[in-house]
Structure 1
């Protein structure tokens, strides 16, 4: 996926249909299945946030351009005043309503997206990491041995995936950042969601994955 940061409030990215399929989605799903298209969109936005540091706060205006070999997506973060009024919205209302526009067909109009991530300090609790061998989890399991984290491991498309879910009561935002920093020393993050892994992946450990890795491989 190619990402271009336009300005502080706008980011544009291009994803090929091949990349879409490699993520476990089909063309029909992203055009005709609302839940699947939204799942793909938020997977891509997680990746955009990580690579382009584009924080998803407040209302987002999204325009998707259908290309011959993929999709070009432009996302603009609406600016709000202290009383919640919208400022600096992109273009006019009709432009914001053009969501899926083909180069040789008229745009299909959709209702405007509802505001998302209205609380700017909301903390992310779920993470997915990709790796090649189970043994790669051993140093992580040892370092986080006494940290209560819900963890699972799945095998999908010739790779292993570690899913983590932090408890918002047990873990502060700083705790989560520190733990993710440790894991990132060994593994790289993945845009795949737990829903995609549960649906298409092979479960290795569906619960207490890090503890099980330490027990069986340590």
Structure 2
């Protein structure tokens, strides 16, 4: 995926259909399944946040241009009028009507998404979630030994695309932001943070351990 930072409030990225399929999504899902298209969108936004420091704040205006080889997407943080009441798009309504047209005009649009959409970032005020991919299952043993001292973590383990994925939920009421960053750093010593979502793992992956991954690993393999 190619990312271009336009300005403080706008970022543009291009993703090919090959890249989309490698992420576990089919073209039909992107065109006709709203849930899947939104899942892909937020996965890409996570990646953009990591690579370009484009923080997601409040409503976003999304402009999508479908091409023969992929999608070009422009994302702008919405800004309000002087009275603070009305959110205005960064492009006019004529542009909005054309945003889902392909180069050859044979594409009728991504069904399930409005031609002019305003998104709010999905959030959970009580938890933060992270997914890590492991190079080898054996890496879980020293990781589990290190993480056993950390309480109040919800963990699950999946097998997907010939690799193991560890999903971790942190109760934010139990830890400060700095402590959560420390937890992520500890996990990153043995695994790699990934943008693969828990929704894709639930649907396409195989659940290996539903909970208490570190305890189970040390019990059976430590």
When normalised by structure 1's length, the TM-score is 0.87
Q: Secondary structure at the match of 2:24?
A: coil
Question: Please, which of 156, 181, 184 is the counterpart of residue 180 of structure 1?
Answer: 184
Number of aligned residues: 216
Of 129, 132, 140 in structure 2, the residue corresponding to residue 129 of structure 1 is: 132
Cα displacement (A) at 1:79: 2.7
TM-score (norm 2): 0.86
Distance in 2 (alpha carbons) for counterparts of 1:169 and 1:155: 30
Q: Is the 8 A contact 1:123 1:173 kept in 2?
A: no
Measure, in 1, the Cα distance between the counterparts of 2:29 and 2:78: 28
1:152 matches 2:156: yes
Alpha-carbon distance in 1 for matches of 2:81, 2:184: 33
Q: What's the RMSD between the two structures over aligned residues? A: 2.5
SS at match of 1:75: strand
Long gaps (5+) in structure 2: none
1:40-189 alignment runs, 5 A limit: 40-80=40-80, 84-85=84-85, 89-105=89-105, 108=109, 110=114, 112-117=116-121, 125-147=128-150, 148-189=152-193
Structure 1 runs (4+) deviating above 3 angstroms are: 80-89, 96-99, 106-109
Matched, 1:204 2:192: no
Question: In the superposition, relative to structure 1, how do residues 176 and 80 fare at CA in structure 2: closer, same or farther (>3 Å)?
Answer: farther
Q: Distance in 2 between matches of 1:174 and 1:82?
A: 36
Distance in 2 (alpha carbons) for counterparts of 1:52 and 1:124: 24
Query: Deviation at 1:132?
Result: 2.1
Distance change (3 Å), C-alpha of 1:174 and 1:157 = same
Q: Alpha-carbon deviation of 1:123?
A: 8.2
Aligned partners of 1:80, 1:140: CA distance in 2, in Å? 46
Provide the rounded CA distance (Å) in 2 between the counterparts of 1:204 and 1:141.
15
